[in-house]
Amino acid sequence: GRSYLNMAEKISGSDAALKVIEEWGVDHIYGYPGGSFDSTMNALYNQSNKLKFIQVRHEEAGALAASAEAKLTGKIAVTFGSAGPGAVHLMNGLYDARQDHVPVLAIVAQVPSTKMNADNFQAIDEEPIFDDVSVWNRTVSSAQSVPAVVDEAIRQAYKHNGVAVVTIPKDFGWAMIDDTFVSNAKNHVDPIYPAPRAESIEKAVELIKSAKAPIIYFGIGAKRAAKELQAVSEKYKMPLVSSVLAKGILEEKYPAYLGSAGRVAPKPGAEIGFATDLILWVGNDSPFSRFLFNPNAKVIQIDIDNEKIGKRHVIDVPLLADAKEALAAIAAKGEELSPTPFYNAALEDKKNWNEWQDSFKNSEEVPLRPEPIFDVLNKTASDQAVFAVDVGNVNINFERLLDIRADQKWTTSGQYATMGYGLPASIAAKIAFPHRDVYSLSGDGGFAMLMEEILTQVKYQLHVVNIVFSNETLGFIEAEQRDDTHQPLSGVDLPDTDWATTAKGMGAEGFTVRTLQEMKDAIKAAAETSKPVVIDVKLTHEMPLTTEHMFLDPAVYPQDQIDEYVAKYQAQDLKPFSYFLAQAGGEQAKSNVVEEKP
Ligand code: FAD
């Protein structure tokens, strides 16, 4: 209580830190206690009605959950680790946030200030190890400054869309300080982006009008610009492709949206890049993109970050502007164009691909193909479902086969691509959106990496449906070893494991699925329990059709190579883009296929 007039109320350093975090709208924090974190665990206990502690079973999972949450909500998420191993364990999850540019605050404990820098138990120099992963990284130097430093960290994380790290020596957490700090959380405003320049818009529209085969290539920078993407596409008859992360911005069934480009891409998205002569590149920083397009194509690039302009492709028109504004200005400018042979061919190519994929929907092949499994998910997941997607072949199958709907959400480890992302991300999704149904989708490699987090789902009674695609291999790497480097398969085989029984041992429900009917039954049973569920789908060892090494076009590849490819992937009904272009009366753009890879 207040003892004398003019004397500030007292608060512990840790309580003051948590108060700032709460003021920024955070209501839970992921972590795992350690001795150096006692003072903050004490504060979490005191404030448990305002700030919920989520006990993950590995700090990596806590950091990944925070990263996933920030991706799903757009708001800062918080994780912590204790001094030494707890801090080091955070690292992998923090890198995920760094690479996908989301605000995360990591509170790192340190031994008491009196014991620092003298080779004590669990005492390491923590600042240098967080330097690379963070946008801002400081050790608090006095108890009184704890809340101000935490507030600074949060503002830095938001400003730079990255990881801010605050290291707090244990004694500062216990120390009683003046409760005088006022955070500025309520006054936080979203950044304002530049509007496009009129002369650049004019140049862009000129280029679009004079192109024969123009496309739009967008990334998650266009996430608020779905209407504008469609308006430009419809007005100038431009097919659309996206980065993988931009899946879901447009409805899957939108006829001119061909899906993503790149290795995980569906066939039309993979082909169109080499047939185009002009790319309207919007909010997209995909690291592979310079290998995905006709290098002679002209490029108009829209990005809010001038560091990104010209980074992935030589460009002709830079537009430093918000995607929504710039696209709206482009759409408002010129006359409507009529459909070109190129545009019509793109629509036909998409239809051909969809029909081919659909032809496997009811496949009774055993071990199972992915198409029937995703068909069940498409039919049973609600309009509000959230999908937490791990890393590996599951990215290919998800990208091509899950028909994401307007209000559904999904997340993966995009640029950093860490295995083990699925389970922690599903925990974040269920905590952030308790009324949505949540699925984690992993391969048997990714699932095993952080499967102890089933225990977290059980502890907090999170009804997550975890689907494990078991094919006893690290498929994504197996395909690389076979198709890219032509080496004998090395180190990719995984032992067959009974994940359903493992799940039951952890207190979840478990089902093994070997047939389509068993999948339908398991999904039904999953809806009838409130426990977390693990569905172990025994999947075919056959790899998804490769669109990176695609041998379909007789004008380019010898017939025996085509025959082999078609037989391997049951691709008899697939036709190359050039076929549809010729049918529509169009001519192929001049393209030098780039063979070099990162
Ligand atoms: P980011 O890298 O986040 O870039 C977004 C861009 O938008 C930035 O340049 C930013 O400055 C800009 N921006 C932000 N806001 C705005 C705004 N308001 N207006 C304008 N610009 C804005 N990806 C693929 O595309 N193809 C693949 O084949 C592929 N394979 C993968 C395989 C695996 C196993 C995994 C895990 C991932 C794969 N990915 C693939 C994902 C890939 O690694 C990248 O994460 C992804 O391509 C990046 O997407 P992005 O450019 O949309 O997002």
Q: What is the pLDDT of residue 193?
A: 86
User: Which one of 88, 129, 458, 477 is the catalytic residue?
Assistant: 477
Distance of CA 471 to the CA centre of its chain: 23
Q: What is the pLDDT of residue 580?
A: 97
Backbone angles phi, psi at 139, to 5 degrees: -100, 130
Please confirm, yes or no, whether 205 is among the known catalytic residues: no
Q: Are 409 and 430 in contact (CB under 8 A)?
A: no
Q: For 263-318, where are the alpha helices, taking DSSP H only?
A: 267-275
Instruction: Give ∠ CA 212-217-223 in degrees, rounded to 5.
Output: 140
- Best residue among 243, 307, 396, 419 to mutate for probing ligand 1's pocket (most ligand atoms within 8 Å of CB) is 243
pLDDT digits (tens, 9 = 90+) for 284-335: 999 888 789 999 999 999 999 999 999 999 999 999 999 999 999 999 998 9
pLDDT digits (tens, 9 = 90+) for 26-68: 999 999 999 999 999 999 999 999 999 999 999 999 999 999 9
Please confirm, yes or no, whether 53 is among the known catalytic residues: no
Looking at per-residue confidence, does 507 or 186 come out higher?
507
Q: Is 79 helix (H, G, I), strand (E, B) or coil?
A: strand
Reply yes or no on whether the pLDDT at 7 is more than 90. Answer: no
User: Which one of 22, 202, 252, 480 is the catalytic residue?
Assistant: 480
What value does the mean pLDDT take over residues 570-576?
Answer: 97
Alpha-carbon span 268 to 343, nearest angstrom: 12
Q: Whose CA is nearest to atom 9 of ligand 1?
A: 285
User: Which one of 172, 476, 511, 580 is the catalytic residue?
Assistant: 476
- Report DSSP letters for 549-594, one per residue: S----TTTS-HHHHHHHHHHHT-TT---HHHHHHHTT--PPP----
> Using a 6 Å cutoff on CB, does residue 260 contact ligand 1?
yes
Q: Are 508 and 477 in contact (CB under 8 A)?
A: no
Q: What is the pLDDT of residue 187?
A: 86
Q: Which of 492, 419, 427, 415 is nearest to 456 (CA)?
A: 427
Note the pTM of the prediction, 2 decimals.
0.97
| Ligand 1: nearest atom to the Cα of 305 | 11
Q: What is the pLDDT of residue 4?
A: 52
Backbone angles phi, psi at 304, to 5 degrees: -85, -10
What value does the mean pLDDT take over residues 381-401?
Answer: 98
Q: What is the Å distance from ligand 1's center to 287 Cα? A: 8
Q: What is the pLDDT of residue 596?
A: 44
Q: Is 211 helix (H, G, I), strand (E, B) or coil?
A: coil
> Using a 6 Å cutoff on CB, does residue 401 contact ligand 1?
no
Reply yes or no on whether the pLDDT at 547 is more than 90. Answer: yes
Q: What is the pLDDT of residue 184?
A: 85
Q: What is the pLDDT of residue 318?
A: 97
| Ligand 1: nearest atom to the Cα of 289 | 25
Backbone angles phi, psi at 298, to 5 degrees: -80, 155
Q: What is the pLDDT of residue 595?
A: 44
What value does the mean pLDDT take over residues 491-502?
Answer: 98
Q: What is the pLDDT of residue 6?
A: 59
Q: What is the Å distance from ligand 1's center to 265 Cα? A: 13
Average pLDDT, the chain: 95
- Side-chain half-sphere CA neighbours of 403 within 13 A: 18
Q: Which of 8, 29, 210, 27 is nearest to 105 (CA)?
A: 29
> What confidence tier does 592 reach under pLDDT thresholds 50, 70, 90?
very low
Please confirm, yes or no, whether 121 is among the known catalytic residues: yes
Strand order in the sheet with 386-389: 409-412, 386-389, 438-443, 464-470, 533-538, 509-513
Q: Are 369 and 516 in contact (CB under 8 A)?
A: no
> Using a 6 Å cutoff on CB, does residue 412 contact ligand 1?
yes
Reply yes or no on whether the pLDDT at 591 is more than 90. Answer: no
Q: Are 426 and 389 in contact (CB under 8 A)?
A: no
Q: What is the Å distance from ligand 1's center to 312 Cα? A: 12
Distance of CA 46 to the CA centre of its chain: 35
Q: Is 502 helix (H, G, I), strand (E, B) or coil?
A: helix
pLDDT digits (tens, 9 = 90+) for 200-256: 999 999 999 999 999 999 999 999 999 999 999 999 999 999 999 999 999 999 999
Q: What is the pLDDT of residue 289?
A: 84
Please confirm, yes or no, whether 263 is among the known catalytic residues: yes
- Best residue among 102, 220, 299, 313 to mutate for probing ligand 1's pocket (most ligand atoms within 8 Å of CB) is 220
Looking at per-residue confidence, does 598 or 364 come out higher?
364
> Using a 6 Å cutoff on CB, does residue 546 contact ligand 1?
no
Q: What is the Å distance from ligand 1's center to 243 Cα? A: 5
Q: Are 143 and 150 in contact (CB under 8 A)?
A: no
Q: What is the Å distance from ligand 1's center to 219 Cα? A: 5
What value does the mean pLDDT take over residues 153-180?
Answer: 97
Q: What is the pLDDT of residue 564?
A: 97
Reply yes or no on whether the pLDDT at 2 is more than 50. Answer: no
Q: What is the Å distance from ligand 1's center to 418 Cα? A: 15
Residue pointed to by tokens 């980065």: 243
| Ligand 1: nearest atom to the Cα of 262 | 28
Q: What is the pLDDT of residue 587?
A: 82
Please confirm, yes or no, whether 122 is among the known catalytic residues: yes
Reply yes or no on whether the pLDDT at 416 is more than 90. Answer: yes
Reply yes or no on whether the pLDDT at 598 is more than 70. Answer: no
Q: What is the pLDDT of residue 510?
A: 98
pLDDT digits (tens, 9 = 90+) for 345-388: 999 999 999 999 999 999 999 999 999 999 999 999 999 999 99
> Using a 6 Å cutoff on CB, does residue 414 contact ligand 1?
yes
User: Which one of 391, 467, 523, 535 is the catalytic residue?
Assistant: 391
| Ligand 1: nearest atom to the Cα of 323 | 19
Q: What is the pLDDT of residue 430?
A: 98
Please confirm, yes or no, whether 60 is among the known catalytic residues: no
Q: Whose CA is nearest to atom 4 of ligand 1?
A: 285
